[in-house]
Amino acid sequence: MFVFESGNVAAAGAVKLARAKVIAAYPITPQTPLTEKLSEYVDNGTMEAEYVAVESEHSALAVCIGALSAGSRAFTATSSHGLLYMAEQLHWTAGARLPMVMCVVNRAVGAPFSIWNDHQDSISQRDAGWIQIYVADHQEILDATIKAFRLAEELCIPVMVCYDGYYLSHTYMPYEVPEQSAVDAFLPPYSYRHTLGPDNPASLNTVTLPGGRLDIHGEFAPGYMELRHSLDLEMKRAIDIYTRIDGEFAKTVGRGGSPIVQTHLCDDAEYVAVALGSMASQLKDVADTLREEGLAVGVLAVSMYRPFPGEILTAALAGRKRVIVFEKALSFGQSGALYSDLRAALYSCDTKPIMSNYILGLGGRSYKSSDFCEAIRQSVARDSACGDHMGWIGLNR
């Protein structure tokens, strides 16, 4: 069934199809319509779930931690300072290996105060132990959120599905909604291996000694460092597991094919533009325009940012003349975070491309397709002797 709705409604529909049983949320622009829609579903009886209205985002995630630990599929969503207010619980959820799914509707972080879009909120939490998926349109919001539940529950690692505030959250696009029976066939009922209850009491996440200790059965239990090592190894498996899950989703629902990175006109591209989120969709039109000028430009959208798919990106970008990374976030004093990660991945490549990094759109600063075109033309004009470089788009001087 095709519908014409906002990105926030697409996300809410995915959570409903996934049969989440506990939703805990606190409103924050531009996330609010997503959780409002879920409360509407619960109130009118079309969704069998408990909606918990809490006093803060920190508490929202705390409620979800309790629900997941007790054996219920849970969901929340947030933006900007709401995500930062959750920071303690973000690390706790990942360290406790709870299969949480959360939509992050990307918004700038103060000060100064801004309600507009960029990626600084989720990028700032890229090292919290959560898998991060970035989507480019409404169909991807719905599909990725459903697949995220399956991924989180197979790995016992929480997942953020990140999408651009306003550009996606409040705009309307057509997208296809799968049948409930198809989603049920793809996503089995929630089953947590460490579910707490009266018949299964336990004390989880107690103080862990540096070197480990014997458990109540007299067996050696790993220490803090071993647990972090395990989380790192398991997260790296997410690339292969998500690829398999996407294949199963395609067989059941009929859509899928590029879950980690998505490419456009990259087969013969000499210059490749790389981005997260909705910018990648806009860059496809830019590449089409520049092709008409005779520039062999392609686009690569990074859909899974954590774990970082370094080997896949190296295989896709090695041998190109230049890679141009566009970002709506900044690692202050360094560069864009995606650029840094990608540059490190390509470091040992024998045919490493020259790289450019452009920062744009911070705090909702507008940008046009012509801005992308001009930045790519400037990058192409820089010969290899100029080396890597960083620039800004849209600064008012």
CATH assignment of the domain containing 153: 3.40.50.970
Can you give the pLDDT at residue 384?
Answer: 66
Same domain, 249 and 274: no
What's the pTM value of the predicted model, to 2 decimals?
0.96
Domain membership of residue 119 as a residue range: 2-191+238-253
Same domain, 167 and 284: no
Can you give the pLDDT at residue 397?
Answer: 75
Same domain, 246 and 344: no
Residue 223 belongs to some domain of the structure: no
Can you give the pLDDT at residue 194?
Answer: 78
Q: Of 203, 224, 253, which residue constitutes the final position of a domain?
A: 253
Residue 294 belongs to some domain of the structure: yes
Same domain, 134 and 247: yes
Number of separate domains in the chain = 2
Give the separation between CA 360 and CA 1, rounded to whole angstroms.
36
Residue 226 belongs to some domain of the structure: no
Same domain, 6 and 152: yes
Mean pLDDT by 10 residues, the chain (397 residues): 96 98 97 98 98 97 96 98 98 96 98 97 98 98 98 98 98 98 97 80 77 80 90 97 98 94 97 97 97 97 98 97 97 96 94 96 97 96 81 92
Q: Of 207, 222, 253, which residue constitutes the final position of a domain?
A: 253
Same domain, 15 and 112: yes
Residue 175 belongs to some domain of the structure: yes
Q: Of 253, 276, 299, which residue constitutes the final position of a domain?
A: 253
Give the separation between CA 249 and CA 245, rounded to whole angstroms.
6
Same domain, 95 and 127: yes
CATH number of the domain that residue 371 is part of: 3.40.50.920
Same domain, 383 and 280: yes
Residue 203 belongs to some domain of the structure: no
Residue 271 belongs to some domain of the structure: yes
Same domain, 159 and 55: yes
Same domain, 249 and 281: no
Residue 332 belongs to some domain of the structure: yes
